[in-house]
Structure 1
Amino acid sequence: MTALGFLYPGHSAEDDYPRIEQLLGSDIRLDLVHTDIGEDAHRVVDALRETGSAERLAAGMEGLRLAGVETVVWACTSGSFVHGWQGAQEQVRTLARLAGMPASSTSFAFVHAAREIGVRRVAVGATYPEDVTTLFVEFLRAGGLEVTGARSSGVVTAAEVGTWQEEDVLTLARAADVSGAEAVLLPDTALHTAAHLQLLEKVLSKPVLTANQVSVWEGLRLADRRVNAPALGTLFTRHPLVQA
């Protein structure tokens, strides 16, 4: 049994995780602990930084230690990339020290996943306000990716994003897709996407990477596991290209 741990801020799309667990197989367990988000405000960068503070992450780690997980992922994209590349690295190092195990975050998972499927040019479809989306684009570029275009939806709370349905997700992905992009990235862990991955890739005719999908893949990568699960998209159907 491989047990993966996730620190997830608040309550929005956490039901993606049991859905993904079911698709992965019986020898993988996904344990999720909710962290306090403070102010639910995508529009306020300082609030997003506080969401991923060492104190909040430490408070969530005790439950994961008791669960006996092998790796931990901070399953919050905006709560990591708002610190910039160097700041997000320090956040992960702090989390690894707190956890006493390999650690990462959803922001780094996107960069590692893009490398895994062999794409460099990506388009971004974000639920965030434009200024927050810009910070994600800068993070991806610092990770060596070329962002061919970015679409912002301007949603200011994770709670609202959590109510989006399949057609909302498809609309965002279509709007983000631009000529020359090899893949489309949807970076909000508050967005339900686990049930829509095959449809998204069919409609766009290219790989789609989503926040909860890449978070789970990153946990598996840290545990040195690779799983073939076609329902979870291209990321889970290719042989690994790199060990990031």
Structure 2
Amino acid sequence: MTALGFLYPGHSAEDDYPRIEQLLGSDIRVDLVHTDIGEDTHRVDALRRMGAAERLTAGVEQLRLSGAESVVWASTSGSFVYGWEGAHEQVRALARAAGLPASSTSFAFVHAAREVGARRVAVGATYPADVADLFADFLRAGGLDVTGVRASGTVTSAEAGTWGEAEVLALARAADHPDADAVLLPDTALHTAAHVPLLEKELRKPVLTANQVTVWEGLRLADRRVNAPSLGTLFLREPIVQA
């Protein structure tokens, strides 16, 4: 049994995690600890407070006691708002507190894009434009080329959590670009675990979503690879090797 630990901010789309655990169909356990979200708003200052060290470390002991082999801060906006170097420091502090390999959803997107062989990516974000642009900057710092950003302007995680399949598909279609190797949907408050096969069928390319890449990152840190095609291209056992 491999136990994966996740620190999830608030309550929006946390039910994606037991769904993903079920779809993995293997000896994988997904343990979720909720962190204090503070003010629920997609505003840079509030997002930085949400990702502060004291909020993250408060849930670490519970994950340690659960037997987690890795820990991932399951927030995209609560990590990339610190910038590339600041997000690295956030993860280092989390690893020290947990005594475990650690990462965040923002880094998961960079690693997952490389895994599926995507150099050029399109972004479909629920966030306001200024926050979405910070995610694009983060991806560029990670060596990816961003073909375009589609921002939907939702103000809260609670609002994003109400989106269904139709809204998620519309966002992905609007974000897609002919030159993009993959489409990225970066909000862990967005329910996407059930929609990845449809998204990839419609767009005919890999689609990387926040909760999907977060769990994949936890597996990567635990040195596990699971073949789960129902979770999309990312979860095919053999990686696509870049030329």
TM-score by length of 2: 0.98
Task: Give 1:55's aligned residue.
Answer: 54
Q: Quote the residue 1:140 is aligned against.
A: 139
The DSSP-based 3-state class of the residue aligned with 2:59 is helix
CA deviation vs aligned residue, 1:100-131 (integer Å, no higher than 9, x gap): 01000000000000001111000000000000
State the match for 2:93 in structure 1.
Answer: 94
Q: How does 1:201-240 map to 2 (within 5 A)?
A: 201-240=200-239
Give the AA of the match of 1:220: L
5+ unaligned residues in a row in structure 2: which ranges?
A: none
Per-residue CA shift, 1:147-167, capped at 9, x if unaligned? 001100000100000000100
Question: Which moved further from structure 2: 63-72 or 168-177?
Answer: 63-72
Residue-by-residue CA offset, 1:167-225 (whole Å, 9 max, x unaligned): 00000000000120010000000000000000000000000000000000000000000
Kept after mapping to 2: 8 A contact 1:200/1:208: yes
- Residue identity matched to 2:138: F
Q: Is the 8 A contact 1:117 1:238 kept in 2?
A: no
* Separation of aligned partners in 2, 1:236 and 1:136: 23
Q: Which amino acid aligns with 2:122?
A: A
Q: Please give the alpha-carbon distance, in whole angstroms, between the structure 2 residues aligned to 1:168 and 1:238.
A: 29
Q: Is the CA contact (8 Å cut-off) linking 2:6 and 2:32 kept in structure 1?
A: yes
Shift of 1:238: 4.5
Counterparts of residues 1-244 of structure 1 (less than 5 Å): 1-42=1-42, 44-240=43-239
Which amino acid counterpart does residue 87 of structure 1 have in structure 2?
A: G
Deviation at 1:240, TM superposition (A): 3.1
Give the distance between the partners of 2:69 and 2:107, measured in 1 at CA: 18
How far apart, CA to CA, are the structure 2 residues paired with 1:116 and 1:197? 16
Q: TM-score, normalising length from structure 1?
A: 0.97
What SS class does the counterpart of residue 58 from structure 2 fall into?
helix
Deviation at 1:26, TM superposition (A): 3.8
Instruction: Determine if contact 1:119/1:182 at 8 Å carries over to the other structure.
Output: yes
Distance 2:180 2:239 in 1: 21
| Contact preservation (8 Å) 1:21, 1:29 | yes
Q: Give the direction of change, closer, same or farther, for the CA distance of 1:98–1:241 in structure 2 (3 Å limit).
A: farther
Q: Secondary structure at the match of 1:155?
A: coil
Which AA in structure 2 matches 1:156? V
AA aligned opposite 1:143: G
Structure 1 position 25, deviation (Å): 2.0
Task: Report the Cα distance in structure 2 between the residues aligned to 1:233 and 1:125, rounded to whole angstroms.
Answer: 17
Whole-angstrom distance in 2 between the partners of 1:161 and 1:46? 19
Displacement of 1:241 in angstroms is: 5.2
Letter in 2 for 1:240: P
Question: Whole-Å Cα distance in 2 between the matches of residues 63 and 157 of structure 1?
Answer: 27
